[in-house]
Chains A and B, each alone.
Chain A
Amino acid sequence: MKKLLVSLMVLCALAGCSGGASAPSDSSGEVTDADVVEVTQEAVDTEAEEHVDEIDLTMMSPTMLFAEVVNMTRTPKKYDGAMVTLRGGLMILAVDLETGVGSYSCYVEDATKCCQRGIGFTIDRPLEDTSILVEGSEVIIKGTFEIYEMGGRNFVRIADCEIWPA
């Protein structure tokens, strides 16, 4: 019995502790006021077996949408450069309210609505109508998925987006 317990403890020790930045947890809402989605270097370095050029996430059920957004951050290389269309809740981060140019986050919820996953996006060109930029409203965005580096860390976002009310 003692040997069994010692063996089990050794196995625990081998599980290891993470050192630097860890991958986002499956169900953590990575949506904070100064946040976009960070991805690990391992995820960035992992070559995808196939590449996606365009994906319309507005057609998906909430269950699949949430899972796909999580998996996009796990295998960002697969989607790098892809045209992504996404429906979700709007969070305004750092924005010029007159033109609408700036950084936002679009969050999606799973079927139980207790798990949220956000993904940052940018609007790079002035909007004709900024009245659609209402915090918490549901919007549809379409832009280019990209991996970028900031402060030695890797993030993903959907860049140069168009935006419509859902």
Chain B
Amino acid sequence: MSALEMLPVYLSYPFVQAALVVGVLVALCCSLFGMTLVLNHQSFIGDSLSHVAFGAMAVSGMLQLVDNLVLTLVLTVACSVLLMRKGSTGNAQGDSSLAMLSVGALAVGYLLMNLFSNSANVAGDVCGVLFGSTSILTLTTSDVVISLVLALVVIAFFVISYHKIFLITFDEEYATAIGLPVEPIKMAMGIIMAVVIVISMNLVGALLITALVVFPVRAAMRLHHSYKSVMISSSVISVACVLVGMLVSIIVGTPVGSTIIAVDAVVYLVIAVVSYVRNVR
């Protein structure tokens, strides 16, 4: 039986079906919030938070927690709130705070995993968390449920607060002037951003999350110029790339996370070239 002929067999497995559903919802969340991050020049906040999440997972492993997702979520949300309060863009102090947090969390996390690991294969654990090689296909039932609930909460938040987020993204001063609760909304967006980062780790790993957030949005911005069109396009591109990436990795036998990002990169390049040719003409 050829690799392609095995696809219907693979799709019959419950863990593959769960992985595809979670993957699609995570892709949607990343594209929705990627818009805000890219437009606010905050792309690397996601990177920093993913490193914090890695450190938090190491702490969970050290404490032998039943479910490491809870502590990871709590610590990542706490750091996101602190970063949002400190104001992490547009000044040198904020930039260096991000750098310190990012590499510090990564280093401490790796150290803890080496010192306190109860696993026989630390390198494998680290590799799996950082690059998401098969994590999305080995989710426990509770992981799936938590990921689904959190993804739906994120999407609901974005749908409900769409106009407020739009205003705050493009003109924060005007939003403040008309009486919008800008700071609470920004804090909520920071929390939601941390949630998106944590649920994305199972899909692409801690090191590749930024690509999942940025590539679809930047590709969509090459095609469209209105906020709504970019949002819809980036969602379609993100979901399509995740689906294609996952299916290719399952059929061919490549790491899931990096395959998804490779597909994202190829799609971005193709769109960039098409856009360039279109503009030249």
A15 and B67 within 8 A (CB):
yes
CA distance A15 to B133 in the complex (A): 26
A67's contact among B15, B68, B127, B254, by CB below 8 Å, is which?
Answer: B15
Q: Given known contacts A62-B253, A70-B138, is B127 in contact with A30 (CB within 8 Å)?
A: no
**Secondary structure class of chain B's binding surface, majority of residues:** helix
Q: How far is the CB of B71 from chain A (nearest CB, A)?
A: 5
Q: Given known contacts A4-B81, A26-B138, is B121 in contact with A115 (CB within 8 Å)?
A: yes
B120 and A115 within 8 A (CB):
no
B70 and A15 within 8 A (CB):
yes
Closest CB pairs A-B (n = 7): A61-B253, A29-B121, A67-B137, A28-B119, A27-B128, A115-B124, A114-B127
Q: With a CB–CB cut-off of 8 A, which chain B residues contact A41?
A: none
A27 and B253 within 8 A (CB):
no
CA distance A12 to B253 in the complex (A): 37
Say yes or no for B252: interface residue by CB 8 A criterion. yes
B: interface residue count bin: 35 or more
B255 and A71 within 8 A (CB):
no
Q: How far is the CB of B183 from chain A (nearest CB, A)?
A: 12
Number of interface residues of A (CB under 8 A): 39
Q: Which one of B58-66, B156-164, B209-217, B262-270 is at the interface?
A: B58-66
Contact surface of A with B, Cβ cutoff 8 Å: 1, 4-5, 8-9, 11-12, 14-18, 22, 25-32, 59-64, 66-68, 70-71, 74, 110-112, 114-116
Q: Given known contacts A27-B125, A63-B250, A63-B253, is B64 in contact with A22 (CB within 8 Å)?
A: yes
A18 and B64 within 8 A (CB):
yes
Q: Given known contacts A29-B121, A63-B137, A63-B254, is B249 in contact with A111 (CB within 8 Å)?
A: yes
Digit string of B226-265 for contact with A (CB within 8 Å is 1, else 0)?
A: 0000000000000000000000011111111000000000
Listed by A's residue number, 27 A-B pairs whose Cβ atoms lie within 8 Å are A4-B81, A8-B74, A12-B74, A15-B66, A15-B68, A17-B63, A17-B64, A26-B128, A26-B135, A27-B119, A27-B125, A27-B128, A60-B10, A63-B256, A64-B6, A64-B13, A64-B253, A68-B13, A70-B134, A71-B13, A111-B133, A112-B131, A114-B123, A114-B124, A114-B128, A115-B125, A115-B133
Contact surface of B with A, Cβ cutoff 8 Å: 1, 3, 6, 9-10, 13, 15-16, 60-61, 63-68, 70-71, 74-75, 77-78, 81, 85, 119-121, 123-125, 127-128, 131, 133-135, 137-138, 140, 249-256
B255 and A112 within 8 A (CB):
yes
CA distance A37 to B60 in the complex (A): 22
CA distance A27 to B128 in the complex (A): 7
B66's contact among A8, A18, A27, by CB below 8 Å, is which?
Answer: A18
Q: Which of A8, A64, A71, A116 neighbours the largest number of chain B CB atoms within 10 Å of its CB?
A: A64
